[in-house]
Amino acid sequence: MLVEAEIWTVARTDKGNAVLVKPLGSERAVPIFIGPLEAQSILIGLGNVPMPRPLTHDLFISIMEKLSVTVDRVEITELKDGTFYSRILLKQGMKKIPVDSRPSDALALAARLHCPLYISETVVDEAGVAVNLIAEEEGDVAVNVQDDKKTTLEAELKRAVDEENYEEAARLRDQINDL
């Protein structure tokens, strides 16, 4: 059975980057290990960070809009041999279209679109970690959403200055100062 969930946070661990998916009202979160680019894409979505050019997930959303397709929901469906499986349920009119996806891509879309996210209770039972254990291990799990967002913005600021786009650079500088 699937239960509604949320992207609780993105964390750096000694094993790499992980996105933690937490069922609503639960005291457990499921760490799904992902690459650094995937983590950055999810953080950009969570932070609503404007990008000067569309990233891959933004491009996919633009294509869906042109085709009158929406994301109905994202589901983390199973864990098999250490690999998480997910799907994106698309909707076009009355037609529902399931699409197999890597969890990182599905979560990057969910972060941008604020669509419902569901996770299998079986997956939570198999891979869930108590939230209070994660908080206690903060030395090992550095939750650096702000730092990652700042790093992304600083890279964009440098690019804006290099391109002599000073209005964009000033806007990015202000966002960095707000952090």
**Whole domain around residue 102: which residue ranges?**
2-143
Tally of structural domains, the chain: 2
Q: Could you give the CA distance from residue 124 to residue 128 in angstroms, rounded to a whole number?
A: 5
> Are 121 and 50 in the same domain?
yes
> Are 37 and 108 in the same domain?
yes
> Are 80 and 159 in the same domain?
no
The residue among 114, 117, 108 whose CA lies nearest residue 17 is: 108
Strand order in the sheet with 16-23: 95-101, 83-92, 70-80, 117-120, 2-13, 16-23, 28-34, 129-130
> Are 47 and 105 in the same domain?
yes
> Are 120 and 154 in the same domain?
no
Mean pLDDT (the chain) is 86
pTM listed for this prediction = 0.74
Question: Computed over its alpha carbons, how large is the radius of gyration of the chain?
Answer: 17
- Give percent of the chain above pLDDT 70: 85
Across residues 83-89, what is the average pLDDT? 97
Q: Could you give the CA distance from residue 52 to residue 41 in angstroms, rounded to a whole number?
A: 14
The more confident residue out of 49 and 25 is 25
Chain segment 34-71, per-residue pLDDT in tens: 999 999 999 999 988 888 888 899 999 999 999 999 99
* DSSP summary character for residue 23: E
> Are 101 and 164 in the same domain?
no
